[in-house]
C-alpha cells in the first residue's frame, strides 16, 4: 500500500470525531487504497508496458544486462502476456528491448548458475520461460511484432520467431552463440530456427557461433525486413497501424489457421479451413465478410486487393 495513501487515511480520521465519521467518505478512501494496490501490481520489475493508440509496447527492461532474461523477467512476461491477451486497449503488441539491445538471451548467472542446485525453482522458471516465449506469443489473440533494436542472442531467438512479424535495425547484431560456451541452442531455439531459416543458414550459425546483422537476417528470412535504426520505431508503428485497419476477428483466425496447417496434410488442411471459415462467420459479430462484399459489389467503395474494407 502506498505511504501517501496511508497518510491520507490517518489524516482524515485524526480530524473527525468517530461518531460523526462520514461512512461514504471512508468507503471512498478505501476504494482509493484498493486502486492504489491494483496499480502497484502493474509495476513490473523487469518489463515496461506502454500503450499508445491501440499499440502496446512490451519492453524487456534490463538495459544494463543487455536485457538478458533472468527468472524475474520470465515471471513478469508470463503475467503480462496473460493480462494483455484479453486487454481491449491492445490491438497490436510490439515486443522490444530497452536501450541498445533486444535481448542477449538467458542470464548466464541468474538463469543457469544460480538455479543449478535449486530444482524446484528451476522447474518453475523453465515452465514460465517456455510458456511465454512460445505458447503465449504464438497463441496471442492479437498480431505481434518483434522490434529488434539491437543485440539478439541465443534464447531471445524463441520470442523473436514466436512473434507473427519482425522488423530489425540494419545494424542489429544476431548470434547463436551457445557453441562458444559448450552447449547447444536449447529450450526451443533449435526447433523454432528451423521454422524460418534454411538448413544451410541455420547449421552455419549454430556450428560457428558467428554473428550476423539485420540486413543478413532479412535475407535469410529471420525478420520481415531491416531498416536504418533511426527509422525503426516509425516503421513498426506504420506496420502496426496497417494491422489495426483489418478485422480483428479475421486477423486472429488467419494466425490460427496458418500455424495449424503447418502440421497437416493437404486433405486435413482443406477440411480444417472449411470449418475455420464457418467458425469465423459465426464468431465475427461485426459481419466483416458481408460488409466487405457489400462495400465492393453494392457500394463500390473499395477494392479488396488494394486495402481493407471500412469497419465503421
pLDDT tens digits, one per residue of 33-66: 444 343 333 679 999 999 999 999 999 999 999 9
Q: Which of 215, 172, 225, 217 is nearest to 197 (CA)?
A: 217
Confidence of residue 114 (pLDDT cuts 50, 70, 90): confident
Q: Which of 144, 76, 66, 136 is nearest to 106 (CA)?
A: 66
Handedness of CA 112, 113, 116, 121 (dihedral sign): negative
Place of cell 458481408: 290
Does the pLDDT at position 77 exceed 90?
yes
Buried (b) or exposed (e) across 105-117, using 16+ Cβ within 10 A? bbbeebbeeebee
CB 107 within 8 A of CB 67: no
Q: Which of 292, 296, 255, 291 is nearest to 276 (CA)?
A: 255
Question: How many Cα neighbours within 13 Å face the side chain of 229?
Answer: 11
The DSSP line for 209-231 is --EEEHHHHHHTTSSSEEE-GGG
Res 22: pLDDT: 53
pLDDT tens profile 136-187: 999 999 999 999 999 999 999 999 999 999 999 999 999 999 999 999 999 8
CB 134 within 8 A of CB 95: no
CB 157 within 8 A of CB 186: no
Count CB-CB contacts under 10 A for residue 82.
12
**Alpha helices by DSSP H, the chain:** 3-14, 23-41, 71-84, 119-130, 137-138, 156-162, 189-196, 199-208, 214-219, 232-244, 248-261, 266-283, 288-297
Does the pLDDT at position 112 exceed 90?
no
pLDDT tens profile 209-226: 999 999 999 999 999 999
Query: Cα–Cα distances in Å, from 181 out to 28, 185, 190, 284?
Result: 58, 11, 16, 50
Confidence of residue 26 (pLDDT cuts 50, 70, 90): low
- Please report, to the nearest 10 degrees, the dihedral formed by the alpha carbons of residues 175, 181, 184, 189 taken in order: -40
Does the pLDDT at position 261 exceed 90?
yes
Does the pLDDT at position 232 exceed 50?
yes
Does the pLDDT at position 192 exceed 70?
yes
Containing 169, the helix (H) or strand (E) segment is: strand 165-169
Count CB-CB contacts under 10 A for residue 252.
17
Count CB-CB contacts under 10 A for residue 171.
13
Res 5: pLDDT: 42
CB 86 within 8 A of CB 116: no
Alpha carbons 102 and 172: distance in angstroms, whole number = 9
The overall average pLDDT reported for the chain is 87
Confidence of residue 95 (pLDDT cuts 50, 70, 90): very high
Least confident stretch, 15-19, 25-29, 156-160, 237-241: 15-19
Amino acid at each position: 500500500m502506498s505511504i501517501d495513501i496511508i497518510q491520507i487515511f490517518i489524516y482524515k480520521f485524526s480530524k473527525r470525531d468517530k461518531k460523526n465519521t462520514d461512512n461514504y467518505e471512508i468507503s471512498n478512501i478505501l476504494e482509493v487504497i484498493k486502486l492504489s494496490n491494483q496499480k502497484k501490481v502493474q509495476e513490473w520489475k523487469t518489463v515496461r508496458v506502454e500503450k499508445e493508440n491501440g499499440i502496446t509496447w512490451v519492453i524487456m527492461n534490463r538495459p544494463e544486462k543487455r536485457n538478458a532474461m533472468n527468472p524475474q523477467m520470465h515471471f513478469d512476461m508470463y503475467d503480462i502476456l496473460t493480462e494483455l491477451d484479453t486487454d481491449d486497449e491492445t490491438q497490436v503488441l510490439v515486443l522490444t528491448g530497452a536501450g541498445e539491445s533486444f535481448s542477449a538471451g538467458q542470464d548466464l548467472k541468474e538463469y543457469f548458475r544460480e538455479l543449478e542446485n535449486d530444482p524446484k525453482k528451476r522447474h518453475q522458471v523453465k515452465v514460465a520461460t517456455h510458456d511465454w516465449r512460445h505458447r503465449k506469443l504464438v497463441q496471442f489473440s492479437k498480431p505481434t511484432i518483434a522490434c529488434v533494436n539491437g543485440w539478439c542472442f541465443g534464447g531471445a531467438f524463441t520470442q523473436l520467431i514466436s512473434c507473427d512479424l519482425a522488423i530489425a535495425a540494419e545494424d542489429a547484431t544476431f548470434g547463436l552463440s551457445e557453441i562458444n560456451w559448450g552447449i547447444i541452442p536449447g529450450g526451443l531455439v533449435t526447433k523454432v530456427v528451423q521454422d524460418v531459416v534454411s538448413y544451410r543458414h541455420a547449421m552455419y550459425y549454430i556450428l560457428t557461433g558467428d554473428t550476423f546483422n539485420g540486413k543478413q537476417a532479412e535475407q535469410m528470412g529471420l525478420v520481415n525486413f531491416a531498416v536504418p535504426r533511426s527509422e525503426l520505431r516509425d516503421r513498426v508503428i506504420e506496420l502496426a497501424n496497417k494491422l489495426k485497419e483489418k478485422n480483428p476477428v479475421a486477423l486472429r483466425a488467419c494466425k490460427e489457421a496458418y500455424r495449424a496447417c503447418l502440421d497437416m496434410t493437404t486433405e486435413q488442411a482443406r477440411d480444417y479451413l472449411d470449418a475455420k471459415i464457418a467458425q469465423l462467420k459465426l464468431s465475427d459479430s461485426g459481419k466483416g465478410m458481408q460488409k466487405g462484399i457489400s462495400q465492393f459489389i453494392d457500394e463500390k467503395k473499395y477494392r479488396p486487393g488494394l486495402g481493407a474494407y471500412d469497419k465503421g
